[in-house]
Amino acid sequence: MTRRSFDHDFDAVTEETFTSMHDTFAQLRSGCPVAHSNDLEGFWALLKYEDIVNVLKQPDIFTTSVQNVVPKVSTTGRRPPLHLDPPEHTPYRRVLDPFFTDEKMEALRDRVHATIVDLLDPYIRNGGGDICEEFSHKLPGYVFAEFFNLSKEMSMSIREVTQKYVKALHLLDKPNIQKYSQELYHIAREIIEDRKNNDYDPDIDVVTAYLRKTYKGEPLPDELILGTIRQLIVVGMIAPVIFIGSMSVHLSDHPDVQERLRNDTSLIPAAIEEYLRLYTPYRGFARTAVRDVEMKGRTIRKDEPVAVVFSSANRDEEVFPDSDQFILNRSNIKDHLAFGSGPHRCPGAPLARMMLQIVLKELLVRTKHMALAGDIKMTKWPEWGAQSVPLHIEPA
């Protein structure tokens, strides 16, 4: 079969600054909103908000079961619910969603708050440093230990392997991608085996809930439960790290925003929503066309991967005026796509919001001022954000 010849509309593999990707996406939205890149084995990128929302509503035309991110890295098995389309993914979401209710989040809040304070206090007392390396890299592991009922040692082991896995992704190092993916599967097996051998309450332990779940009278398949736990233990380990880094860059560049939020902490939930819109930590997930589709004069052929670029949609000027500006209490801020949309909207959004709101509040009330103290290092596809942010901190 002859490979199609494509236009190369933008570079996906390039050294980026804190603003360069958003500059590129802004140009593409105005002139080439359905763009193609020959990088990362070739893919289409949808840049406009409306196009992305429409695709997310049509899993019968754009499937997630073939390739769920760009670049394609999942080669070691299916991992529900992200890797399945409705209705196949539905029983996996029905187990997961009840663990993120308002009631469950309130029950977890005090432990998350204490974890954040314990990690943040020494960082602030020392006058700062790289907030990603010294604070936000540690945070998800400790929070996940609370959420998943894991030992701190197990959770930090997941964090360490995840860091190596992400580094391999950024280097497109396929042997190590597979190696560390298999290590994560091994950890997931250990967690499942522990739940089988010990008495955990399925109302408070998500792994046990999956093991007890039946669908159409049958237990969920062992290999798909394994894939689900493998997915869950990783998916929230990456985004908070770079989001907190990106948010810290903006706060450092805008001392007026620091002061406004310090003086009125009731604005913090709104600030987190605007930061999620501005600094969406995933560029976007991917779908695969199940048939030829025409979009804005371009032909996406059957089996071609399509990135739905949330970080571009969230700066679409037709939806969010003055989209590059930090504006509190936008009337339509709840429409942002930082957590996706449709059947695969991120189920962990309530936990992420709670954690990030506490981080921002504690970071501000415990400091007088923060400023950049060195160069920012950016991440690469599929994430976007600052993965190294040296700060000078003046404690309160």
* Predicted confidence (pLDDT) per residue in 143-172, tens digit: 988 888 988 888 888 888 888 888 887 777
> What's the pLDDT at 258?
98
Question: What average pLDDT score do residues 10-38 get?
Answer: 96
Domain 20-395 has CATH 1.10.630.10: yes
> What's the pLDDT at 89?
86
Residue 76 pLDDT > 60: no
CA dist 88 and 86 (Å) reads 5
Burial class from Cβ neighbours inside 10 Å (0-12, 13-18, 19+) for residue 1 reads exposed
pTM given for the model: 0.93
Percent of the chain whose predicted confidence (pLDDT) is above 70: 97
Q: What is the DSSP letter of 132?
A: I
User: According to DSSP H, which parts of the chain are helical?
Assistant: 20-31, 49-56, 90-96, 102-125, 131, 139-147, 152-170, 174-197, 206-212, 222-253, 255-263, 268-278, 310-313, 349-365
User: Cβ neighbours of residue 34 under 8 Å, at least 6 residues apart?
Assistant: 44, 45, 46, 47, 51, 295, 296, 297, 298, 300
Structure tokens at 332: 């339509």
Structure tokens at 104: 């469950």
Mean model confidence pLDDT for the chain = 92
> What's the pLDDT at 174?
83
Measured between its terminal Cα atoms, the distance across the chain in Å is: 65
Residue 77 pLDDT > 80: no
> What's the pLDDT at 2?
42
> What's the pLDDT at 4?
60
Q: Closest Cα to residue 372, out of 396, 361, 388, 395?
A: 388
Question: What average pLDDT score do residues 28-47 get?
Answer: 96
Q: How far is CA 124 from CA 119, 249, 392, in A?
A: 9, 16, 9
pLDDT band at 80 (very low <50, low <70, confident <90, very high): low
The lowest-confidence range among 64-78, 110-124, 288-302, 361-375 is 64-78
- Cβ atoms of residues 385 and 378 within 8 Å: yes
Residue 113 pLDDT > 70: yes
